[in-house]
Every structure is written in C-alpha cells, then in structure tokens.
Amino acid sequence: MSKIVVIGGSAAGMAAAAKAKRMDPSSEVIVFERSGYVSYAPCGIPYYVEGLVRDIDELVYYKLDYFREKRGIDVRIHHNVTDVDVDKRIVYVDDLKNNRSYKVAYDKLMVATGGMAIKPPIDGVDLDGIHTIRTLEDGESLRKDVLKSDVVGIVGGGYIGIEVAEAVASIGKKTILFEMLDHLMPNFDKEPAEPIKEELVKHGVDVHLGEKVVEFTGNGKVRKVVTDKGSYDVDTVLMAVGVRPNVSLAKSMGIELGVTGAIKVDKHMKTNIEDIFAGGDNSETINLVTGKPTYVPLAPAANKMGRVAGENMVGGNAVFPGVLGTAVTKAFDLEIGKVGLSLREALDNGFDAVAVDITHGAKSHYYPGFTKLNLRLVADRKSHRILGGQLTGYYGVLARVDTLAAAITANMTTDQLKMLDLAYAPPFAPVWDILIVAANVIEKKY
C-alpha cells in the first residue's frame, strides 16, 4: 500500500487525490488544505458577490464528508504544510485550528499549492478594504465590504475585474474600473476588446483606460484611489491584476521552476525530484500553438493536470498535452471568448501572422432575437494554420470558441475550417457561420 500526500485541496489537488484513490483503492491518500474548503469554485465568487449565488457553500462541488466517507480520502482543512524533507520523505504540518504541529511520511507527493493574487508594491495597498480573491473566504470578505459601500474601485480589466465590475454595478453600487493598458482584456488585441468597454459603460461602469494606479490613501482604511491622472473616492477596492504561482514551498524543497516562474513539470506532471508531482495554478505547461512553456492559471487545465498526476502517482502513464488558454466570460449581456493567440501574441512569438475582423449574424437574420457576433481570426500567412480567435457578441460565442479550440488543437488550416460541416438551423446559426465566413475572407491576406 502506497501513501500519497497532496498539498492543496483545490482543483488540481482534489483531482489528483480522487484519481489516485480510484485507480488504487488500497492507497492511503491524505490532503492538506490551508483554507476551510476543498473542491470549490473560485470562478463563482463574482456571482456570489452579486447575490446570484446566495450561499458561499453553493460554490463547493463536494463536501468534506463525500471525500472522507465515500471516497476514503483523508482531507484535513485548516492545515498548512510548512516544510518538506525530500530525502526522508516527510511533510511537516501546522494544524491551524488546534495550534499543534506534526509530521507525516509519504511515498508519493503532489504539490498543488495553486496561485496567489498579485498585489503590486503600491503605496497603501495593505489598507483595510483592499481585497483580492482566490479563496471562498476572500469572496465572503469582499461581499461583506461591497454591501456596505457606495463606491467600489476595481484595479485590473481582465476576466475577474470585468466579472466583479458587473456584479458590483448590478447591485447598484457606483463602480470605477481602472486598467493601465489602452484596452480591457489584456490578452485580447485592442480592436476586438472595444465592445467590452462599450458594454460596461452602457451599464454604468466608469471605465478608465490607460490609467495607472500609483497610490491608495486612507486613515487605516482605503478612501481614495490615486492614479497618474487623478484621484477617486472609494469605499472598497478589488485588486484584480493577475495571478502568480505559489511556489515558495516548492523552491524550498529544491523543485525546479520553469521560465515562467511556475513549477517545471514534464508531460506526466513529474517534477525534477523523484516521486514528487505538481499541477494546477502553481505549474507551467506547454502552449499548443507556440510549443513553448506557458503559465495559464485556469480551472479546466488545473483539473486535468491533477487527474494526470493522480493516475501517474499510482503507476499510470497519463499525459497532459498542454493548453490553448481557451476562456469565456461575459460583461452584462455581452459574451466574451478567446482561444489560442491574439495577433499581437502571434507576432511576438515569431509567426508571420495575419488577422481578419468579421461581424456576422449569430443566427439567421429573420429569426426572432437576431444578433451579431464579432470575430477576429488569426492565422499564419504561409501555412494557413489557425492560430487563434477572439469573439464578442450577445449570443453564440461559446460554440464558436469551442469549435476553434478543437480546430487549433487538430492543427487545422483556414482552408479546412472553411469546409467544416457545421450545423445550421435558423434559431442557432446562419447557413454561413461566422467561422466559415472568416476562413474565406482571411485568404485575401495570404
């Protein structure tokens, strides 16, 4: 019987624990989690802040009893792993609830310490009322402050910033969004991101682009956001400027980090240390378009990485191939999606890339609820290989993003895309889908 220890109980950690136990029921599996929750959905926090999710516990996929009683996994919450002796294979743990410390031996170890919200070194960033969100406890704290506030400032115009801006504005709070770049969604090109700003402004969000936050002020609690262009009164602030890998423990263990600063793992999720695996928001992987290491802290990848690690910890040979960075969100009624590379990213990675911008119906023009989609399709000029897509629209973004994800994974060209046998019916799509139209039009760029 092998003894498996998992450090971290979110997506990758619990996926690894569950898969290992399923593959080898005789194994002993212990999970240590610093927070009070495991197997939860931090992506749902903006909807909890808005009140669409009434109880924070609704964001928990499986309760502790499910893992302990039905799956036979020893899950220990409020436990912080402080050190690992990789030579003796011992994990040192603090039991935060009972104020005691102890050690546990392991045969195989999974490091799933996740990511950490970035808090840039801005004066006043540690004032009360300035939040980041990674855990459910973070979500509870943010909602409590938002409900007591009249004005909420949001720093960062990426996925989380946009989702929380919608949440806060939807419950009647004045919302000010600051983004230091000249467009929202930093992984988008500028032009495809324009409809996102328009949608936020239409719903009352005060959007400040090209404006860098330089200071927070207040007497113990934040009262002003100071930028390089002005000063703004606030009651609460959310910092949503990105995520970095939580690798302090890994570094102390001698685990090798990659070029992205995240843990370097092979396709089997193995680290450079024998019998130690890693995965999730603390680990880098391969970008399927560029073939280069990348850091993409998103839940679908973390779950798959954990599953692969769990299988291999009990003797399997599973492989995690990499990611495209496929993602979708919304700003009020506007759906937003991206897959693969933007034009800027493609050019920066050495591709002779071209792009075409198409606006086209999401369904047949005569069908009730007709609306249009915006698509930027990116391809390689010489090979015609599809490199990426960015979409916005009021209906049908997800279907096109997922179709492009499959096409890019299969290394399809625009010549093949334009002949794909996509489904057609007036309520769902026009006879000429926007992907087919874009694939035909981009040929003029070659």
> Total structural domains in the chain?
3
Whether residue 159 lies inside any domain: the answer is yes
> What is the CATH classification number for the domain harbouring 414?
3.30.390.30
Whether residue 255 lies inside any domain: the answer is yes
Q: Which of 43, 125, 328, 412 is labelled catalytic?
A: 43
Assess whether 82 and 136 both reside in one domain: no
Joined tokens for residue 55: 């109880």
Assess whether 124 and 111 both reside in one domain: no
Assess whether 16 and 106 both reside in one domain: yes
Assess whether 100 and 181 both reside in one domain: no
Give the pLDDT confidence score for residue 40 in this predicted structure.
86
Assess whether 349 and 267 both reside in one domain: no
d(CA 349, CA 207): 30
Question: 102-113 pLDDT, tens per residue?
Answer: 999 999 999 999
Residue with tokens 């910092």: 239
Whether residue 60 lies inside any domain: the answer is no
Whether residue 322 lies inside any domain: the answer is no
Range of the domain at 19: 3-35+78-116+244-313
- Respond yes or no: is residue 270 known to be catalytic: no
- Mean pLDDT over all residues of the chain? 96
Residue 157, number of CB atoms within 10 A of its CB: 28
Residue in 291, 355, 353 with CA at minimum distance from that of residue 322: 291
**Statement: residue 440 has pLDDT above 80:** yes
Assess whether 231 and 374 both reside in one domain: no
Whether residue 332 lies inside any domain: the answer is no
Whether residue 307 lies inside any domain: the answer is yes
Assess whether 348 and 429 both reside in one domain: yes
**Statement: residue 193 has pLDDT above 90:** yes
At residue 312 the predicted structure's pLDDT band, cuts being 50, 70 and 90, is: very high
Assess whether 296 and 221 both reside in one domain: no
> What is the CATH classification number for the domain harbouring 217?
3.50.50.60
d(CA 140, CA 45): 8
Whether residue 42 lies inside any domain: the answer is no
**Statement: residue 153 has pLDDT above 90:** yes
Assess whether 129 and 107 both reside in one domain: no
